[in-house]
Structure 1
Amino acid sequence: MQPNNASGSGYKQAGKPTVGINAHLLAGEAGYRRAGIHQYIAQVLRHLPREEDEPAYTVYTKYESDFLQQPGITAVSTRVPTESRLFRIVWEQLIWPWQNWRNQIDLLHSMAFVLPLMATKPAIVTIYDLSFLHFPDNFPAAQRFYLTSQTRRSAKKAKRIITISQSAKQDVHQFFNIPLHKIDVVYPGVDSMYCCLPEDEVAAFKEKRGINGRFILHLGTLQPRKNIPLLLEAFAQLADPTLKLILVGGKGWMFDAIFERVRSLDLVDRVIFTGYAPDDDLPLWYNAADLFVLPSQYEGFGMPIVDAMACGTPVIAANNSSLPEAIGQAGMLFAPNSVADLAERMANVLYNAEISDKMRQLGMEHARTFSWEQAGRETAVIYQKVLQGNK
């Protein structure tokens, strides 16, 4: 399936304003790029309302999907290899402004941090988190410099900013001195595939993967911000030698310390690295797990929390950044960077059926409060707000 108008020229629907959306961070191939930001972009685009009074959407992406073939959306591809960060920067700074002019775009929306310097139309930017400012040493120098300088510039240039949590909204306000009234929060939703699956289907999945017995699950890219070494240390304090820790996610950057910690804690036989998992396998991983743990130092939201809850899995997360927003009253929070506190809470959930059963029920109820349909509608309201204010 090829995106509509793959040659690079869009079209202007008579009588309708057009929103030009940079979605080049959508990833078609397996890998760590098909993680949280990819899912957020894809789901918001999929659920943008298409009523007659809504604008037309021109989506710039090399990604191929059925939702990009729907009425009201024109997908515009490029020959530029935007899978590469450097080429993606070239595209967004040099080619995108020209395409916006050619396609008569009325409003720009960059769905990942940066707007073009030469943008001449009103613009919106989505900023997921400011981890590169909270933990600068966790990022390569060139990437950190680009994100810091260009996200700040884009935030100041944008008519409105979208964040995915109240925590991220406060970060943008504090770091970039952006008035709070210019920042909108559009929470992620939960896809319908995240649900409680039949026991026989889950058992077959575990057998296929060679998993026997109980396990704790972590899902996320292997990178410093995920704080996986702390999880490993807490796991090492649990006395049950049959209990496993399964880390699902592709390699990001600066991940060698994780493998070294597994060896130094003598956990080689108890910790399993699966690498990147296809989207369709994620509900099975959540359903199969006895506990999901997200010990991140910082998150823009923490989408795996609500995905795991929707599958009926108890959740423990670090008490920092946006994670309390994601977990609500349905899971457990542990003191950030406290190995002992995390180990104690994991033991409480794993070995107390009353606690884990209550968390399962509360988690499923909490997950139902997050909706991609609502995220799509709220994004469209922001488009209308900017378009009407600039007629």
Structure 2
Amino acid sequence: MRFHRFKRGTGFQPVFSSWAGSPCHRIDESYNFVMKLILNVDALTPPLTGIGHYTLQLARGLRGHPAISELRYFAGWRWVSDPEAASAATRPVAMARRWIPFKPAAALAYGWLQQNLFRWQTRPLRDLLVHAPNYILPPWVGPSVATLHDLSHLHYPQHHPRERIRYLERYLPLTLERASRLIAVSEFVRQEIHQHLGVPLARIVTVHNGMDAAFHPRTALATAPVIARYGLEPGGYLLSVATLEPRKNLARLAQAHSRLPPSLRHTKPLVLIGTPGWLTEELEQHLAPLERIGQVRRLGYVPQADLPLLYAGAFAFAYPSLYEGFGLPVLEAMASGVPVLTSDRSSLPEVAGGAARLVNPEDVEAMTAGLERLLTDDDERSLAIKRGLRQAHRFSWERCIEETVAVYQQALAN
């Protein structure tokens, strides 16, 4: 799927009129525009994925921002007053997606219904800007912004459910036509959007994701009470955090770990945190026998409050994904004071910033050698931890919010 014939949508500079219904009224003269915003919060479906956390951070940071005079949230098919409670609006859709038959057709039908419900419920509104943090813009004739997190559906369609591919094929070209500006979560993704979708670079802005302050180094004494509930000890495991789906390359990670010397496999088992995804048959074949002998542990979904302690308690972190638009877990591990091994491709070198050991994610032997070095070389570990902390501190959600607001201003100035 390639979209090279790109038509720019018509933008306008709005004149704001009074509009009730939002708690945000503070105005700061330092901003070029004071704007009214509709934020689509469909991605706030539990358990939250990376895009869900991104959306939640936007919703929190934009609420009360001095450049936002009015803020409203739309989820599923209706308005929601509080993004923290948006899951109530999206949960029925998530359940339907899991159980409904004929999923590709159902996804397209739901997309059509959702777009038309948005159009119907916003028909009396004017002079607003719409931001879709999860790829697809709803129908809107005014200024709009969409965030694209990666183009993995183009490069690895075999690693996605068919209904997702069909949905993006149908609605992403419309987003490219409508959007006043596109946000890319890394410079890598910005260049991908330009090269593969034909969008001019001037219409795409790189805004990196941020880092939650909850991720920071902790002592063994601080982590022990929480990680003990999972049968773990501080410094006693190699961690990976990812949805269990093919693109995350966990099958090769398990293979690489299984080739480590027996002492390392025993003292540093591979611990996987993440919800079951899709197309996991091959991964299951690799993990099941290793689980039976205790070399792999799957924790599934863990509460958000426990996650920073599980990071900080790890001896090392591995994230050998085949393709990432950003790769937030790499930063979360670095911020937690844990040395990282990750892939030498896509956005991951950009995000790691020279602070991680990079390997070819398709070379199991290279991955094994990298893991062994990370687990045994004290000098490399110490240097990686210091560099990782410096790199992680370059990213914050506050900066992400400010840069996102600047993109809104560009969209309004079109």
TM-score tier (shorter): 0.7 to 0.9
CA contact (8 A) 1:59 1:76 kept: no
Equivalent residue runs for 1:87-236 within 5 Å? 89-90=111-112, 92-104=114-126, 106-116=128-138, 118-212=139-233, 214-236=236-258
The correspondence for 1:25, drawn from 36, 43, 50, is: 43
1:254 matched to 2:263? The reply is no
1:43 aligned residue:
57
CA positional deviation for 1:234:
0.6
Name the SS for the 1:274 alignment partner.
strand
- The corresponding residue for 2:332 is 307
Other structure's SS at 1:58 match: strand
8 Å CA contact 2:74–2:80 kept in 1: the answer is: no
2:309 to 284, 288, 295: 284
Structure-1-length-normalised TM-score: 0.87
Alpha-carbon RMSD across the aligned residues, in angstroms, is: 2.8
Q: Please tell me whether the aligned partners of residues 73 and 80 of structure 2 are also in contact (alpha carbons under 8 angstroms).
A: no
Q: Deviations over 1:328-360 (max 9, x none)?
A: 111110023011111111111111111111111
Unpaired runs of at least 5, structure 1: 1-8, 70-74
**Which string of whole-angstrom CA distances, capped at 9 and with x for unpartnered residues, describes residues 103-148 of structure 1?**
43522111111123x4222221111111111101112223212113
Q: CA offset at residue 24 of structure 1?
A: 1.1
* Alpha-carbon distance in 1 for matches of 2:407, 2:213: 25
Superposed displacement of residue 226, structure 1: 0.4
Q: CA deviation at 1:98?
A: 2.1
What's the CA shift for 1:268? 4.0
Identity over aligned residues, as a percent? 30
Cα distance, 1:285–1:107 mapped onto 2, change above 3 Å: same
- 2:372 is aligned with 1:327: no
Closer, same or farther: CA 355–143 of 1 in aligned 2, 3 Å: same
Cα distance, 1:54 vs structure 2: 3.5
Report the TM-score when normalising by structure 2.
0.82
Count matched residues.
371
Find the aligned partners of 1:64 and 1:107 in 2 and give their Cα distance. Answer: 17
Structure 1 residues 361 and 64 mapped into 2: Cα distance closer, same or farther (>3 Å)?
Answer: farther
Once structures 1 and 2 are overlaid, which stretch shifts more, 120-129 or 318-327?
Answer: 120-129
Match of 1:56 among 46, 49, 70: 70
| Equivalent pair of 2:42/2:90 in contact (CA under 8 Å) | no
- Give the CA deviation at 1:153: 2.6
Residues 189 and 57 of structure 1: CA distance in aligned 2, closer, same or farther (over 3 Å)? same
Mapped partners of 1:388, 1:115: distance in 2: 19
Query: 2-side partners of 1:227 and 1:388: how far apart?
Result: 42
Q: Secondary structure at the match of 1:313?
A: coil
Deviations 1:171-211 (A, max 9, x none): 11112100011001110111110011232121223332212
Partner of 2:122: helix, strand, or coil? helix
Decide whether the 8 Å contact of 1:169 with 1:180 is kept in 2: yes
Q: Secondary structure at the match of 1:202?
A: helix
Gaps of 5+ in 2: 1-18, 28-33, 98-106
What is the identity, as a one-letter code, of the residue corresponding to 1:214? G
